[in-house]
Amino acid sequence: MMPPFVVREFAQETWPDFEALFGKHKGVRGGCWCTFHLCTSVQYDQMTRDERKEFQKGLAYQGLACGLIVYDAGTPVAWCQFGPAERFPRYDRMRAYQELALPESLRPQWRIACLFVDKHRRREGLSHFALKAALESIFRRGGGGVEAFPLDVPGARYPQYTGSVRQYTAEGFEAVARLGKNTVLMRRVI
């Protein structure tokens, strides 16, 4: 039986917990600090690891944070980055996404950009728990169209940071299109 995890929205009050989780893993994925989808590629590439951390902290302190943190006995163990679609400009700038020319009726209100679990806590269902918690939060905030962009890499055991197509399918998402070689655009209306 899974222990009773606690979920808290990412905000100024939870910044120390986010910092602890990501700091333990050196900012995750080359010092991203989960900023990759929150800015353009030029902005991201011009920032150092420390500047990415400060960028994320600034969003938290301005009330513009996107995500939630999962805790086990008070310790942050997992993360899901999600929020209003317009907060994730990198997706809109993807050539393959633009080529879809989605009608206004299919434009998302929400996006899920990242799932991360402490490397010492993987294979415990925390990624699934974080995704479900994000979907519940989206529902409480009025719902709407939700996009996700899991990687589908042949031979990969589990795509870190994005979740898997199978994981999103289990939560009622449907594949819309392949965006490039490994990214699958998935959609669900809540």
* Percent over 70 (pLDDT), the chain: 96
Instruction: Note the pLDDT tens digit of each residue in 40-89.
Output: 899 999 999 999 999 999 999 999 999 999 999 999 999 999 999 999 99
Architecture of domain 6-189: 3-Layer(aba) Sandwich (3.40)
Q: Where are the domains of the chain?
A: 6-189
Instruction: Note the pLDDT tens digit of each residue in 106-144.
Output: 999 999 999 999 988 888 889 999 999 999 999 999 999
pTM of model > 0.85 = yes
For residue 169, pLDDT over 60 is answered with yes
Instruction: Write down the pLDDT at residue 3.
Output: 58
Q: What is the DSSP string of the chain?
A: -----EEEE-SGGGHHHHHHHHHHTTTSTTTTTT-GGGS-HHHHHHS-HHHHHHHHHHHHHTT----EEEEETTEEEEEEEEEEGGG-HHHHH-HHHHHH---GGG--SEEEEEEEE-TTSTTSSHHHHHHHHHHHHHHHTT--EEEE--B--TT-S--TBT--HHHHHHTT-EEEEEETTTEEEEEEE-
